[in-house]
Each structure stands twice: as structure tokens, then as C-alpha cells.
Amino acid sequence: MSEAMNIEQLLEIIDHSEAAVLHEYVTDVNAVDVARCAQQLDDRQLWKLCYLLQSEDLAKVLEQAEEEFAVRMVQSITNDELIDVFGYMQKDDIADLIGNLPIVQRKALINQMLEGDRKIICTLMDYPPDSAGGIMNTGYIALEEDDTVSRGMAKIRQIANRSEVIETIYVVNRSRQLVGTANLRVFLTADKNTKIKDVMKEKPVFVHPEDDQEYAAKLVSRYDLNSLPVVNHRGSILGIITVDDIIDVIVEEYNEDILELGGVNSEETLNSTLQESVKHRLPWLLVNLATAFLASLTVRSFESTISQVVALSATMTIVTGMGGNSANQVQSILVRQLSQDEVPGSKLLKCFRKEILVGMIDGMITGFVTAVIVSVLYQNVFLGIIILVAMTGNMMVAGTFGFLVPVILKKLGVDPAVSSSIFVTTATDVLGFFIFLSLANVFLPYLL
Amino acid sequence: MSEAMNIEQLLEIIDHSEAAVLHEYVTDVNAVDVARCAQQLDDRQLWKLCYLLQSEDLAKVLEQAEEEFAVRMVQSITNDELIDVFGYMQKDDIADLIGNLPIVQRKALINQMLEGDRKIICTLMDYPPDSAGGIMNTGYIALEEDDTVSRGMAKIRQIANRSEVIETIYVVNRSRQLVGTANLRVFLTADKNTKIKDVMKEKPVFVHPEDDQEYAAKLVSRYDLNSLPVVNHRGSILGIITVDDIIDVIVEEYNEDILELGGVNSEETLNSTLQESVKHRLPWLLVNLATAFLASLTVRSFESTISQVVALSATMTIVTGMGGNSANQVQSILVRQLSQDEVPGSKLLKCFRKEILVGMIDGMITGFVTAVIVSVLYQNVFLGIIILVAMTGNMMVAGTFGFLVPVILKKLGVDPAVSSSIFVTTATDVLGFFIFLSLANVFLPYLL
């Protein structure tokens, strides 16, 4: 693709006050690059950039800027100028932006808006940012089912420039309830006097404004939609969610899952300060410390056994380490599957049995390899046999807990990505040490 | 949203041969549900379902079916019927489907196609399935830049029904090179005699067919595109990638990352058989076994120390366990960040320093808590001090390796999600045991 703008180019434009060049450059696509580069500007440079940008271009850049940076940009222009810029922005983006501003400025801005805009913005701001209502926007085309295709087409021409999506037309009845969707193709090709209700598709897929954004993303992904209507409980259409917002939701949720699986707060990024990073990670480490002590106390209760056969202390970590790895595998598969679909109970039971069997087989194979090496290394076949049995047992523990913990957390309404690893690892650590060391204790005479 | 079809309803339709009901039900949206339910049918039921479905509906269901199941469906109809069904399918979907069939059937089908279709399908099949060319389709609208808006509109009406996307119109020059894009809105509202080149946006974002699908997804997500053109090195447009395919790519890559972070082959699902699961997971476990032995041998080299102070064997696991957790956190943040953007070198260096500091601070805090508990438990302050120092040191190891390993793997062109955890955990295990036990060895007299 064509080369993106870099910070040096932007600085040159600012230094030479090249407003015309800037206007030429800021198309929809390039606004992304400007927003990205401008993040690196200092306050004075940013102020000058905002001064050079026309309202329409400033709106494009604002829509593409990350939250924090958008607030910084807004701080470098006056409220009057901002109201002007809002004229070129989508209502949902305005609501998001205003929601991040200090309360005093927020109120001042809302009061300066036109009556109609104010109402829409306030409604949008009422929905939680991660709900369907929070990400919907109001630029859609709705036509009445009894209108003809030619009348519909005339209306589409009128609204087209203010609508986010034109490919999907929403069809409503006289009470403004959503009854179907029609594709713009149909309007281009159908007979002019056909009624819209005769060319529409019935039973549209929709969400309610309070539904979770993740649910909305799932519907769009499953049904390959271009946009998803948001309707209230009366069935009236309130707005639409566009597919670019859905992609943002999917990426956001993906990042959350990755971080949470690793025991990191999903708000942390590479940009977080030292204090923030320590604050975000410490709680999770302290929880882990508690479980580490549980495992440590298990080992401690076998101290007299270990003092007689020191080889146990070097070999016991293999049993728990491998159990942890195996549990991780099971857990990853379940976290992924549970985040995508409902898995029916009968299938779960079948999979559960399979996971325990996989644990047993993998445990026997890796256990056998370990047993051979340990037997040679320590010149003791019994130690080898004990580690084989313990590893097989602990991998079955891994299968059991790696499966059950995510399933149970999901049933309890807790996100399995966040907290399942802590329970699973505790199980494989504590039970791994326990199985291995108590076997060693029982067969102590053979190990001496 | 409206309730989805369930398997009982589908079975009833099949049992009563209600072809009309079925045809009524299979709209674009419901095809997804039929495909989902039909997976549970046995061969006889599936055969009857395919028999009841009209070609057009069968095409819709096939486009929504998962790979393996689509092949099963195809096996229950004849090649002639299938060629008929292909008439209603997008070319990229046909190419994907054919690519999964046995080679004999594939050749037979390609030979039965019309000359034009055959050429397109063969070209599409030549691209790797995870390249931009592999996911592109050929249903787009391209108009010449010198045409007028009204002539363009006439062409759009002609092509609309065969095009996947109509909102974005691609504009080409006389040599069929892509020179811009135009939004359908413009055609609806602009003056009829305007030339298309005067209303188009220049410098379109595009990919080459051999580009990775992940790169295509990144562009669509960054620039909020509705579709992404694929052009060859001459600049001619070959096809487009639609946003629903991009969503599939994002979800697919997301699943891969989650599984690979957990040490699972990305091909494994909950549906994999026992044999497949064992086969997929065993290699990773064996690699881990090698590293577990490395850690075990480290402990073994301190056996004489441990035999004198058995308490070490119960406490050493805390040092390595906490180091592992801390490294996991650092690694998750890096894997996520590296998969999204290029991070500039100067910023990396700054972050690296921060990560080591975070490790030190978190290590000191959790180490202090541990030291207090251990001192009381074992009535030995020196053991507490040693564990405090070791934990601080090992968490700095965690910060160092948790940061460096993903960065280096990325630089080497290896996916950090797949293999970074194995190196990082080895480092925190081996070095954690080493730091703690060698400190204990040096200060042995104080511990006795």
C-alpha cells in the first residue's frame, strides 16, 4: 500500500504552517496516520496543528485518535471551535469523546449544543461504553414498509450523506417498529412501483441497547452482517452498530483475554507508567503467593522423607512442572471454546472423559521417559517407577482441573480467562507434590 | 434477537420432507443456523436434507458450513448437482471448498466448469489459504475513471447483484490499474455528467495477493475499511477482501494466539479425537520435559546443601513459582503489543528498563511478605533474608527474559505467542533455583 505519513513530514508541515498541504493530505484514510503521528507532538506543536486543521479535517483526526490523545487535542481548542467540529462527527463518537472530558467542560459543551443533538448525545452517554447502546450510532436509513421503491430511493438520496451505512436499509412499520431490512441493490434494480415490504427480508437480527458489545460482535461475526440494528423493547430502532466498531470490539476483547490469561489487568499497555504497572500486577502476584505457600506447605509436611532421600527435592519439580504445562493446554482449549459458543452438556461430558484419558496417556509417555532418565541418573529403579506413577496421576489431575475450572467459572458467570489459571495451577502443584511425596513416603525403604 | 432453529425442528422438517418449509426458512441469516444444526445429522439424514434443499439454498448453507462439514455435505450430492449449486456461490468460497475435496473429485469438478469460471477458480486456488489472494473474491464493481457518474450508475445497476460489496466502487484507468475508490453515496447524489475521476478518492489502501491475511486484517481495522482491494504488481485489481472475511481472519488469529500461548497446536478443538489430541500435545510436553530436567539438574547440583537444610526444598518452589508468574505477565503484554504494532526501538529500550524495575519492586514486596512468613515458620531470619534477595533477583530475571524473548523471537520472524513461554519459564526456573540455592550455599553456616 502507499507509504504512510511519518512524524518528520508532519513536523515540517507544522513548522511551515502549510494549512493547504495539510487539508490536501487529510482524507478519511490519512486521518489515521495524522492521529498516530500527532501523538508524539508536544503541546505547542499540537496546538498549532489544531489551528492549521479545518474543522472538518479536525473531526476526521479526532474520530481516529485514541481516547487519551483525543482529550489532549480537545484541550488545545476552544469550546466554540469544538462545537463547530462536532458538526462533522458521528454522534456516537461525540458521546464517547465528551464522556472522557472533565465534568465542567462536558456540561458546558452539552449546553452549547442544539436541542436535538443534545438529546441524542445524552441518550448515548447513558449507555455503558461496553454495551450495544454505547457503541451504536444514529446515522442509518429507515424507510416505511408501505412506501414504494422509487419513493424510498428519493429518501435514500436525501439521507445518504448523513448515514454511516447505505448498503443496508432498515424497514419500519407505521409505529416505527423494525420489521425488516432491504439491500440497496434491490432499490437499484427493482421495479419502481414495488412496495418496500415486498422486497425486504423479514426477521432481522438485532440487539437491545443494554446487551453486551461482545454479544453484538458474536452476531455480526456469525451472520456476516454489515451492520446490526439496536432496538428498544417496543421494537423501535434506536441506532445501528457498524462493522468497523465491531472489529474494534473483537480486537479489544481479544487483548483482554490474552492479558487476563497472563495474569495482567486488561488496562495495562506498554505505555503504562512504572507505578501503574506495579499497581496492576501486584495484586495478582500476591494471590499467586498464597497458592505458592500452599504448595510449599505440602512439601514441608514431607520434610522428614526428603531429608532421607534428597533426590526427591530435585525430581519433584518435574512432576509439578509437567502437570502445570499439561493443565495449561487443556485450559487454553476450553477458554477459547467457551468464549465462542455454548457447548451442550452432553458434549462436555464426553470431552471431560477424553481430557482425563489424554492426561493419562500423555502422563504415561512423558512419565516413562522421565522414569528411564531418573533411574539411570540416581541408580534407583523404584524412584523411576514412583515418578512414572506420580506424573500419570498428576496429568490426570491436570485434565480434570484444566477442564472443570473454566467450565464452572463460566457457569458462575466469571470470565474463565481471568482466574482459571490460578485454581488449576494450585491443583497441579499441591496434588503433584502430594502424590509424588506420599508415594515416596510409602515406599521409602526401597528408595534408601 | 429472534430465536434460532434447533435440531429438533430441523429433524421434523426432514422427517416430513417439508421442502417448502425449508425453502421458506433458509434466508441468508438462517442458513447459518441450518448449517450449525445439520452438523449433528447422520449421513442418511444429511443426504435427505441436501435432497430437500433447492440449489440456491444449498449454496447458502454450504457457504456458512465449517470446512469439514461442507465436505460431508458435498459427498452427499452428485457432481452435477454441485456444479449447479456453484452457480449461486461466490468464487472464493467455491475455491476454498474444492481445495478441501479429494484430488480426483476436485479435478472432475474443475473439468465440468465453464471455461471462464475454471480460470478464476484455478487462480484463486493457487494462492495459499492464509494469504490475501486466498481470501479475496472477485465480486466487485470497477468503473473507468473517464466515465460519467450516470454511465457508472447504469453499470452499477447491471453488476450490483453479482457484487459482494456495492458501497465501495473501485475506479480504474484505461490500463485497468486501480487509481481510486468512490462511495456509492456520491453516485446517488452527484451531478450526472461529472466524471468519475472528479468524485473519487485517490491513493486507495490495497494489498498484494501474496501478502499475509493478518496484514490485510490490520489495514482494514486501522483504516475502518468496508473492503480492501487486492492488486497485482502491475497495479491491476484482482479482487477484493470483504469485511466479513476479515472478521473471520481476526477471530482465527485470535484463537491461534490463545492456543499457542497455552502450548496447544492451533488446529486442535474440543472436537478433536483422543488420538489427535495426544498427537498435538505430546511434542510440546516433551520439549517442556527437557527444560524441566534442566531445572531439576540445577537443584541436583545443590543436593548436599539441601540435605543439610531440608527447609530449602520446600521454600525454593516459591522463588521459581513467583518468577514464572511474573514473567508470564511481562510476556503477555509484549505478545499482545508486538502482534498489533511496530514498536520503535527507542520506546522498547525505555520499556525494558521499566520492566526490570517493575520486577525489582514487585520482587521486593512479595519477597518481603514471603521473608516474614518463612522467618516465623522456620525460626530463621537468615532463610527469610535469602529468600527476599532471591525473589527480587528472580523477578528481575523474569522482567528481563519476559521482555527480551518475545522481542527477539519477533525480530527473528518467529511468532512470539508460540514459543516464548518455554524459554522464559526455563530462565526463571533454572536461574531461580540457582540464585536461591547458591545464596543458601554461601551462607550455609547461618542456616544450620
- Res A4 pLDDT > 70: no
Choosing among A25, A281, A350, which should be mutated to test the B contact, i.e. which has the most B CBs within 10 A?
A: A281
* Closest approach of B254 to chain A, Cα-based (Å): 6
Residue B409 pLDDT > 80 = yes
Between A189 and B431, where is the model more confident? B431
| Residues of chain B contacting residue A322, judged by C-beta atoms under 8 Å apart | 285, 288-289, 292
Q: What is the pLDDT of residue A28?
A: 62
Contact B361 A278 (CB under 8 A): yes
pLDDT digits (tens, 9 = 90+) for B117-128: 888 888 888 888
The C-alpha atoms of residue A316 and residue B269 are separated, in whole angstroms, by: 31
More confident residue, B293 or A256: B293
Chain A contact set for B365 (CB, 8 A): 282
Please give the average per-residue pLDDT across A344-351, as a whole number: 85
- Reply yes or no on whether the pLDDT at A29 is more than 70: no
Residue A359 C-beta-side C-alpha neighbours within 13 Å: 33
pLDDT the model gives residue B1: 41
In chain B, whose CA is at the least distance from the CA of A352? B270
Count of CB pairs separated by less than 8 Å, A with B: 317
Cβ contact, residue pair B259, A299, below 8 Å: no
Greatest mean pLDDT range, A351-365, B34-48, B199-213: A351-365
Cβ neighbour number for residue A150 with a 10 Å cutoff: 13
Partner residue facing A264 (CB), from B278, B320, B329? B329
Higher pLDDT, residue B285 or B28? B285
How many angstroms away from the CA of A12 is the closest CA of chain B? 21
Residue A413 has pLDDT above 70, yes or no: yes
Chain A residue with Cα closest to B232: A1
Whether residue B333 and residue A269 make contact (CB cut-off 8 A), yes or no, is yes
Q: How confident is the model at residue B309 (pLDDT cuts 50, 70, 90)?
A: very high
User: pTM for this structure?
Assistant: 0.76
Give which of A189, A192, A293, A423 to mutate to test B binding, by max B Cβ within 10 Å.
A293
pLDDT confidence tier of residue B270, bands split at 50, 70 and 90: confident
Task: For residue range B59-109, list pLDDT tens digits in order.
Answer: 888 888 888 888 888 888 888 888 889 888 888 888 888 888 888 888 888
pLDDT of B197 over the 90 cut = no
* pLDDT at residue B377, rounded to an integer: 93
Q: Of the candidates B307, B334, B370, which has its C-beta nearest A289's C-beta?
A: B370
Give me the residue from B250, B261, B307 closest to A247, CB to CB. B250
Q: What is the interface pTM, i.e. ipTM, of the complex?
A: 0.74
Write down the pLDDT at residue A30: 78
Mutation for A interface: B27, B29, B157, most A CBs within 10 A: B29
